[in-house]
Structures are given as structure tokens and as C-alpha cells.
Amino acid sequence: MRRLRLLLGREEIARRVEELARQIEADYRGRRPLFLGVLKGAFIFLADLCRLVDLPKEIDFVQLGRYGAGGTVGGQVRMIVRPRAEVRGRDILIVEDIVDQGVSLQYLWRYLERQRPASLRICALLVRSRPDQEMLPVEYQGFTLGEGWLVGYGLDLNEEYRTLPGIYMLEEEP
């Protein structure tokens, strides 16, 4: 049996998303960025963020998977859904739910760089603090968190818990 411990409530998340939106507006004023949401986890964050950013913008999605031998998670990264929008010469803002080890994000970054965007930045609701790892720069960070399995606000465990309004830590019951 699993127990959920609330880490970030709906109001706290909403305040931080609003702050990120204002920062993005200031940085992209006069431009029309392409918000590139990473499915499935980022869809709620992306929707809330885009509603608050008062700029002309386009929204598109990518989906990545990491699968090893026998269908195990954690192997080679592959792109399941590619962006449909034109990337070349565009200001691209990758919108992620969580940046953990950064393996999938680095794969996506390299893919997008080859398309020659005008600019490429990352916005992540959650970033794991990993001082031992070199990560891509996340210009727009919602919250920095430590270890543990997180669910809610788009994050899931086997497709469950995604629609919870807050972010919770999964804990094992004794």
C-alpha cells in the first residue's frame, strides 16, 4: 500500500507558475516562441503556463521514451512523437515536468540543435538537485527537490496520480 505526502500544494504551484510566466514574458517580449511540451508529464504545467504567458505563441509536443532490453525503462532514448511545428529559426522553449538525470532532455536538446533554432531554452517545473551531475541549463525553474518518487500535477506512477492538483511524494506504508 502506498501513502502520499504533500510536498507542493495547488496554491504554491500556481504562484510559482505565475512567476515563471512573468519571467518568460519579459525574456520573449516582441517574439513568438514555440512552447514545446514533453509528453506526457508536462501537459498540465504547459497548459497552466501558456494560459498565463501573455504573448503570441505556438504550442507543440514531443514524446520521448527510454527503453532497454525486454521493455525495461532506462535504456536508449528514442523519440516517439516528433514536433510538427517548424523549429528552424524559431525561439524554442522546452517545457518539462521534471529534470532528473537529464538523459532524455539531452537527447531532445541535441535533436533540436540540429534543426537550427534561433534560441533554445528549458523551463521545468521541478529540478532534482544533483551536484555530482553536469546538467543542461534550466533557465526557468519552478522548484528544486531532492530524491523520491513524485506524483501529481502531471507526474505519474504507471499512469496513476497525474491529475492530482498538488505534487506528492510516494511513501511505502509500513
Range of the domain at 67: 10-145
pLDDT tens sequence across 1-31: 589 999 999 999 999 999 999 999 999 999 9
Q: Does a structural domain hold residue 103?
A: yes
In angstroms, what CA-CA distances link 74 with 45, 65, 79, 103, 142? 24, 9, 14, 9, 25
Question: Using an 8 Å Cβ cutoff, are 126 and 150 in contact?
Answer: yes
Looking at residue 104, what DSSP letter applies? H
pLDDT exceeds cutoff 90 at 98? yes
Q: Does a structural domain hold residue 134?
A: yes
Which residues touch 29 (CB under 8 Å, ≥6 apart)? 55
Active site residues: 100
**pLDDT value of residue 2:** 80
For position 137, which CATH number holds? Answer: 3.40.50.2020
Q: Which amino acid is at 104?
A: S
The DSSP secondary structure of 5-26, one letter per residue, reads EEEE-HHHHHHHHHHHHHHHHH
Q: Does a structural domain hold residue 160?
A: no
Q: At what angle do helices 10-28 and 43-52 cross, to 10 degrees?
A: 60
User: Per the structure, how many domains does the chain have?
Assistant: 1
Q: Alpha-carbon dihedral of residues 59, 16, 120, 159, nearest 10 degrees?
A: -60
pLDDT exceeds cutoff 70 at 173? no
Q: Does a structural domain hold residue 165?
A: no
pLDDT tens sequence across 33-79: 999 999 999 999 999 999 999 999 999 999 998 755 444 455 689 99
